[in-house]
Amino acid sequence: MDKYIPPFEITNEMFEISTEIMENLGKLSNVNELEKLPRLRKISRIKSIHSSLAIENNTLSIEQVTDIIDGKKVLGPREDIVAVKNAFEAYKELDSVNPYNLKDLLKIHGIMMRDLVEEAGNLRSGNVGVFDENGNVVHTAPPVQMVNELINQLFDWVKNTNIQMLIKSSVFHYEFEFIHPFRDGNGRMGRLWQTALLASWKPIFKYIPIESVIKNNQEEYYNAIAKATIEGKSNAFILFMLDVINKAIKDIVNDSREHYNHINIQINKLMQVMEAYPQSAQMIMERLGLKSRIAFRKNYLNPALEAGLIGMTIPNKPTSKSQMYYKI
C-alpha cells in the first residue's frame, strides 16, 4: 500500500488560530473541577449529541434529547429516538476508544447506526453521493472498490504523522467526509472521530461540545467542505474547524465561569451552616431559611455532594428518609 499524504498546507493563519486555542485552553483553569461535576459534563454531552444529530435533520429538541438520555418516554419519530440512544452509547465510548484503530471506528459506527441502517459497523458496499436539500449532488464519493484502501491509508497517515493535533484532527475529519466510507452516518461519525482524536490529546475535549458550534454555522461547514474539495486540499476546512474549536472552547470557559460563580455562592452559604456532625435536610434548610426542598437539593445539596464537600450517613440510599449530611 502506497503511503498517502493528504494535500494541505500549514499557513500562518492556522498557526495563529492554533496558538489562540492553546491560550484559551489555558484559561480552563478549573478543568479538574469540571471533571468532578457530572452535571456540567452531562450538559456538554447532550449539546454535542443534539447538535450533531440536528445537522443530520433529527427533529428532536434538546429537551427531548435530555429526557431520552434520562430514560424518560418521549413522543417522536422512531428513527430520531433510536439515533439519540445510539449516539449516547457511542459518545460514552470516548473514554475507551482508540482513535487510531480502524476496528474501533467500525465498532462505534455499529453502535451509532444500530437499527438505523443495514450496514451498521461495516464499510459501504456500494457507491454513494452527497446531496443538498434540493436534491442536487454536491459530492460524489470515491468508488466502492477504493474505500477500503483509502480509509486504511488515512488511518496510517493519522497514526504516523507528527503534525499538531488541532490540524491533524481537522485534516482527518475532511478526508473522512471525502471518502464517505459508510452508506450512512458519515457526518456524525466524522465529527465524533475528530473529538475522539482531540480527546486522546487533551481529555477535556470530551466535554467541549464542538458540534454545537458546527450546527450554529452549518452552512459554512458544508461550504468549507465544498471549497476544500474544489481546491483539492483541505486548507479551507482546517481553518473553519480551527475557528469552530476556538469558539467552542471560549463558550465552555464562559459557561463554566457562570456555573462556578452560581455554585460557589450557594455552596458557601451551605458550608457556613454545615457541621461535622450529621444533620437532617430539614435542619439544614431551616438554618438556611429555605422552604423548598426541590430548590435546596438543586441549588445547595447536590452541588456540594458533587464537589465532595459534604457526605451522607447512608451513601448507598441517597433518598432514604433517615439520610443525614455532614461536613467533610
Beta strands in the chain (DSSP E): 129-131, 137-140, 310-312, 325-327
Instruction: Look up residue 148 and give its three cell numbers.
Output: 477500503
Q: What are the φ/ψ torsions at residue 310 (nearest 5 degrees)?
A: -130, 160
pLDDT of residue 325: 95
Which position has the higher pLDDT, 254 or 173? 173
- The pTM for the full model equals 0.79
Q: Is the pLDDT of residue 136 over 90?
A: no
Distance CA 128, CA 140 (A): 7
Enumerate the β-bridge partners of residue 279.
325
- Over residues 108-116, the mean pLDDT reads 98
Q: Is the pLDDT of residue 165 over 80?
A: yes
Distance CA 325, CA 131 (A): 58
Instruction: Look up residue 247 and give its three cell numbers.
Output: 469558539
Q: Percentage of residues in the chain with pLDDT exceeding 90?
A: 72
Nearest in space to 2 (alpha carbons), one of 222, 231, 130, 156: 156
* Confidence label for 256 from pLDDT (cuts 50, 70 and 90): low
Instruction: Look up residue 91 and give its three cell numbers.
Output: 459518545
Please say whether the beta carbons of 130 and 139 come within 8 A: yes
* Confidence label for 257 from pLDDT (cuts 50, 70 and 90): low
pLDDT of residue 267: 83
H/E stretch holding 84: helix 78-92
Q: How far is CA 202 from CA 11, 31, 208, 298, in A?
A: 23, 11, 11, 30
Please say whether the beta carbons of 59 and 77 come within 8 A: yes
**Cα-atom radius of gyration of the chain, to the nearest Å?**
23
Distance CA 279, CA 281 (A): 7
* Confidence label for 245 from pLDDT (cuts 50, 70 and 90): very high
Write the pLDDT tens digit of every residue in 2-44. 688 999 999 999 999 999 999 998 877 555 455 555 667 788 8
Instruction: Look up residue 201 and give its three cell numbers.
Output: 490529546
- Over residues 92-96, the mean pLDDT reads 93
What sections of 161-280 are H helices per DSSP? 165-179, 186-201, 210-216, 218-231, 235-273
Most confident of 20-29, 38-47, 101-110, 290-299: 101-110
Nearest in space to 82 (alpha carbons), one of 120, 42, 130: 120
Instruction: Look up residue 119 and give its three cell numbers.
Output: 450496514
Instruction: Look up residue 56 and give its three cell numbers.
Output: 443530520
Q: Is the pLDDT of residue 1 over 80?
A: no
* Confidence label for 150 from pLDDT (cuts 50, 70 and 90): very high
Q: For residue 131, give the 3-state DSSP assignment.
A: strand
Instruction: Look up residue 276 and give its three cell numbers.
Output: 461535622
Distance CA 306, CA 32 (A): 13
